[in-house]
Amino acid sequence: ATEQNAFFAAIEAMGFEGDLGASVEGARAEFIERVKQWDATASVKRRQLFDRRKQASPSEPPSEEFKKEMAAIEASRPKLAELQQRVYGMLSEEQGAKLKETYEAELKRVRDEIARQAEADRKRKEAERMLADARFTSSQYGEDFLLSSREGEEE
Neighbours of 58 (CB within 10 A): 6
What pLDDT band is residue 33 in, cutting at 50, 70 and 90?
A: very high
Answer for the pair 82, 6: CB distance below 8 angstroms, yes or no.
Answer: no
Separation between Cα atoms, residue 102 and residue 81, nearest integer Å: 16
Neighbours of 6 (CB within 10 A): 21
Separation between Cα atoms, residue 131 and residue 103, nearest integer Å: 42
**pLDDT value for 54:** 84
Q: pLDDT tens for residues 2-32?
A: 899 999 999 999 999 999 999 999 999 999 9
At what angle are helices 64-75 and 18-54 packed, to 10 degrees?
170
**pLDDT value for 4:** 94
Number of H helices, E strands in the chain: 6, 0
Write down the H helix ranges in the chain: 2-14, 18-54, 64-75, 80-90, 93-141, 143-154
Percentage of the chain beyond pLDDT 70 is 86
- Cβ neighbours for 83, distance < 8 A, ≥ 6 positions apart: 7, 27, 28, 31
Q: pLDDT tens for residues 35-71?
A: 999 999 999 999 988 888 888 777 888 888 889 999 9
Neighbours of 99 (CB within 10 A): 21
